[in-house]
């Protein structure tokens, strides 16, 4: 059997590799570092400039974490809906009801316009066991109440579970009166 020692091996023509650099490891390291920087900026919610987003590896890293940015109107609608749910079902600390109501009213009236405040309020809304309000959300509500000077008088809470505009206590009084007047006639 004849022996072949490298005479049939393919030869690499160096003309095709003139654009290759010797520093392949440095280029790879720079790309990884740039991607990592993009991911970190996305986690910190730092908006990059156009010059940073022109770097493909940075942009890939940023977009992999941040994803598409949700419009502020959608976030505002979502947090309003969640706060209405928490208030109407009583899943919020009773001491926080007036503050939450004031913040919700201010959101709906457009008094809270700072995007950062709305996004922070949304970020503080995390799922908890039993569907109760997360402590971070409660802290953020108190913070916004102080920031926008939304303090209300500490009036007794008048819940309206069926949302007909009449508080539950008033409805019960009306039912009791109608029952009392119905018994007197019989």
- The DSSP result for 61-121, as a single string, is HHHHHH-SPPPHHHHHHHHHHHHHHHHHHT-S-GGGHHHHHHHHHHHHHT----HHHHHHH
The domain limits of the chain are 14-66, 72-162
Percent of the chain with pLDDT over 70: 76
Rounded (5°) CA angle 123-128-132: 100
Overall average pLDDT of the 37-46 stretch:
81
Q: What is the DSSP letter of 134?
A: P
Alpha-carbon gap, residue 71 to 77, rounded angstroms: 10
Picking from 46, 141, 48, the residue whose alpha carbon sits closest to that of residue 96 is 141
- The pLDDT confidence band at residue 152, using thresholds 50, 70 and 90, is low
pLDDT tens digits, residue range 91-150?
887 788 888 888 888 888 888 888 888 888 888 887 777 778 888 888 999 999 888 887
Say if residues 121 and 144 touch (Cβ distance below 8 Å).
yes
pTM for the full model? 0.50
User: Which residues are within 8 A (CB) of 93 and not within 5 positions of it... i.e. 6 or more apart?
Assistant: 133, 138
Picking from 121, 23, 40, the residue whose alpha carbon sits closest to that of residue 81 is 121
Helix (H, G, I), strand (E, B) or coil at 14: helix
């Amino acid at each position: 059997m004849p022996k072949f020692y490298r005479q049939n091996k393919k030869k690499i023509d160096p003309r095709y590799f003139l654009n290759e650099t010797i520093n392949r490891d440095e280029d790879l390291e720079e790309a990884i570092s740039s991607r990592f920087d993009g991911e970190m900026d996305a986690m910190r919610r730092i908006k990059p400039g156009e010059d940073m987003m022109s770097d493909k590896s940075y942009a890939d890293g940023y977009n992999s974490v941040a994803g598409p940015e949700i419009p502020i109107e959608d976030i505002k609608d979502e947090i309003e809906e969640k706060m209405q749910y928490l208030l109407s079902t009583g899943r919020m600390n009773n001491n926080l009801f007036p503050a939450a109501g004031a913040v919700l009213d201010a959101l709906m009236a457009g008094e809270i316009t700072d995007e950062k405040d709305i996004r922070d309020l949304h970020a503080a809304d995390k799922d908890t066991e039993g569907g109760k309000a997360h402590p971070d959300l409660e802290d953020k509500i108190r913070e916004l109440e102080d920031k926008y000077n939304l303090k209300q008088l500490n009036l007794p809470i008048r819940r309206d579970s069926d949302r007909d505009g009449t508080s539950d206590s008033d409805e019960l009084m009306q039912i009791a009166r109608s029952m009392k007047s119905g018994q007197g006639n019989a």
